[in-house]
Structure 1
Amino acid sequence: MKRNEWIKYYRNMVFPVIVVTGLLGILMTVFLLRSEHRNSREEYMHALQLADDNISEMVGDMDYYMYSMWPNTQIMIILKRLLSNETYTYTESRDQELIRTFVSTPVYTKLYLHSAYIYYVNYDKVILSEQGLVPISDFFDKEWLEMVNGEEEMPDVIRRSLKQYYFEKKDTEVVSISRKYYTSKNHANYGIVTLNFLVDKVNERLKRYVDDDAQSIYVGYRTGEILFAAQEIPGVDETLLRNMLVSGEEETFIRAGNSWYIAYRMENEHLGLTYLFLAPISEELKLAMPMLGMIFCVMISTAVLGIILSWIMTRRRYTLQSQVASIIDYYEESGEYPEELHQIGEEYDYFFQSVLKIFEQHRRAIVQDYEKQIQLERAEIKALQMQINPHFLYNTMETIYWKVMEAAKGYCPANQMIENLSDILHYSLSEGEDLVRLQDELRIAEKYIQIQKMRFGDFFEVVCDREDGCMDVRVPKLFLQPLIENAIQHGLLARSEMKQAGKIKLRVRNLGDEVLICVMDNGVGISGGRLSELRILLEEGKTGEGHIGLFNTNLRVRLHFGEPYGIKIYSKSDLGTVIKIRVPKGIV
């Protein structure tokens, strides 16, 4: 019987253990390969990111010319004079040397740069990093001139061969990156800046990010042209690489010679560049092979251990069955519990105690979660109770309104002021977009003016002159109120001390695609120095001391409609101030 029990246990337990162990080994192998693949992918993508950062930093040298030269008015004046003259005075020669130094500084300090060109449209001269101003007829790079003056659009990035001097034995491989500069008025092409990068030097920098000769990083342009390569991989299909650079998947496999490579792809949409990291698949498998051998040994050991454990468990099961049968037989014969039962009972007693302990812990966890939920709900209710609903403000204003009417025994100016203030509060606290109709903004501005007249008396008057067809244009909510307040506080109040009548005029004019809004007053005006300071701050979109409402309104207008829009201010001392704001039509 014992032998039959072992055979049965062996058939039912050992074989499933071996199957499970085999599946576990397969899963571990797959997990290991995926883990190695994931680690390798992170490592290679990090290398691509570092390469992209390096390339972006090199291309960033273009900003030295784009943002340091063209926006500099003094340099542009000197350049136009030098470009227009055929001969130069001593001062102009010195200016020419200064310009050459300015252009050549990045080239001399960056080993990966070959040269830099700057060309202005409609001039017959080119600024070179090596020679300064050179007539087009004497310029050595004829291929570049043909691309600039050709009928087709000049490519932003291109790889080509370049020979700067006739005595050079071989051409120099460079990648030319060009950017056009456009005028801010009519967006016309004003000039071109070209930087020539040495391919060999850039390749050396890319080689820092590969571990061995079997790996490489390729850098290409959106057209599919290969620009740089850390090192060439023998047997790789260049046409396939070009296709991958244009529209390849982020991860794919390619064949080079007799070897298979895995290729990772990353794009830089801003520069239009694509990066490929090629690494042999054998690199990932080489790391996994020792682990595969270890897993195979574990599988064999598990199978052997399963056979041994099955024999041990069979013996224990047979012994337990024999004890249970013996206890049953003894109880049937004597009606008493044998000593073996206490031993078996203790084992089951420990089992039941453990189960009850788990249930008790689960019950306590449920109670704790319930208590936490109750506390959370109480906290939420308390937070809701502490919130002030806008309706509370409206109801409070209405209560004050009726209390004032009751105290005054009828409708009085204070009631009018409360009505105006309630309308302004309702308008400012109402939900919705920040852009409202100009008609609604003028209506609220009139209520604000009525409140100010009640405060200060009729020492000033307000005139509104508006044209038809402008009232539906969208403007920032409550943007007129700070401007009117500015006119009263900084203009008319000071003039009222001189006992002179004040006047504010709101003017709205239709300018076709735009609407002009003016706020004018005949206050004390602004001094010349302070006016210049305010204009600079408003033009730059900054804030300063005083006139906080003026600065904030200017920022809001520029944020909604763009930098071309904003506040223009005009003023003369003792005559008054005019604030003009243009807003576009068609904003929904």
Structure 2
Amino acid sequence: MLIPVFGLAVLIAMIFVPILANEYTKNSRNLLYQYRTKLETLFNEINYMNIELSMNTELFSLLKRVSVNADSNSEINQAKTQSNRYLIPLIASRSYIDSMYIYIDNENGRFFSIPQGLVNLSSYPDYTWYHSYQRKRSSQVSLWSDTRSYRRYSFEELTDVMTIYQKLYYQNGVSIININLSYLRQELDALQLPKDQHILILNQDGSLLLKNSSSEISDELLDALHSADASQTTLRIQKETYQITREYSALGGLQCISVIPLGAIYSSVYQVFLNLLLMILVIALISILLALHSSKKFYRNIMQVVDILTSESTESGTAASGGSVTENTDLYHLITQNILRLHLQQNQLKMDIIENQYKQKNLELKALQAQMSPHFLINTLKSIFWMSYKITASKNIVCEMVENMTDILSYSLTSKDTLVPLSEEICHTKSYIDIQRVRYQYGFTVTWEYEETVTALPSIKFLLQPIVENAIIHGFHGASSGQRIKIRIQREGTVIIIRVLDNGGGIPAPRLAEIQDALRQLEGSDQHIGIFNCNRRLHLIFGQSAGLSIHSREGLGTVVKIQFPFSPRPFPDS
């Protein structure tokens, strides 16, 4: 019997060993593609920041004037205030950014560090970036990167960063973004690589930017990689042959390289073969023993089953087929008949449980939906009351508020659908904003960023209004003017991501931790009821992948992120 078993194992190995080796190569390329995509996403976000920064001509003119001639303290303070107000929210929403510099060519060695303000190369602890810029200043390269260690203050420990340089669009200068290298290394280590696999990230000059934590790369291997042809897939160093997989990125000229010894690939494959052979032998042996043991007890076990089923049938009032069990009774027919009957009963119970669960979920969803209307009506009616109280000479503003309020009430009370197009949600959110702008005497501004293609996608009702309401009531509490809200709607793959940013007072760290913990556990609160309501409805309709998260820094502002897939998960009746 062992000869057929061994032959089967050899046949399986011959078929699957090449397949497994090929899958190993595909997996390496997929891992490189994943990390390359993450790096390109990061570069695109930084490029977007630089584009927004370059379009602010007023700020750039002020920065250039102060860099060249910084005799006026008022201009220096004005430049620091405006740059911090514009750039700190961009940096705060991207936790991987450690710091940012803006250098416009000048003879004084001055540049802007966010948030320190105007500093000088001669007195600032970090100046090595300037040498890299001088080397690339006259070249055609507009975007490059390197790794270095730096400190912003003399008393700080050195921080490892990857520095991304991008020349300014309309000025002679450069913007410098320092990205925490621990963030990039953590993302790389999360790829779950095999033990002997090395992932290397090289810049446009071929210098090593980053490698996985477990990687020990010799200088000899790095030199061989530099001199190897781009199409070369294997590399032999002394007695070891390595498999090389490369992925190139057009952004920054980055290279993502996977290096793994061929011996490690085939050792894993042959280990699978040996485990498979051992498993087949063990299973064959256990099967023989079980068959011998079961044959001795087969008849006794069958009779025990028949006795149990017969007793159960008698107690439930149904007679077993054929009456009492005799020598001529068909035992298999008797067992099958009773098993089928029990199976039907079990299926009926399952259907009852599913129906009850659906009813309970539907009731909870309706209760959460109905909870929004009173909460929203109270705040809006307060706004109408105060404006009616203040404005007596003319009814124009009040009429406008009532008209907006009527649209919102109609949207809330007449539409019975759980999902609505994003265009409707945006329209009625704007109506609510118009009401609040009148109430707060136009003390804040709201900007929208979205493409028209996303407006036809589905969304839950009253998704944006509670978030905007919290930004106005809680975020801008005590502020007189200059407050801003930005609402950005994006489509990323199969997911809709909505970010609501404000430059209000922010949330204290202890309170923020309480809110974040409650959101993760799908709990509610007496405060911020709208946020918890939206988070719970997103989970009920779109599943666990949907939800709401909050990031805030006290004194800087708050970012609320909402994400959900294009289509909701199906309910049992759909």
TM-score range, shorter chain: 0.3 to 0.5
**TM-score where L is the length of structure 1:** 0.40
**TM-score where L is the length of structure 2:** 0.41
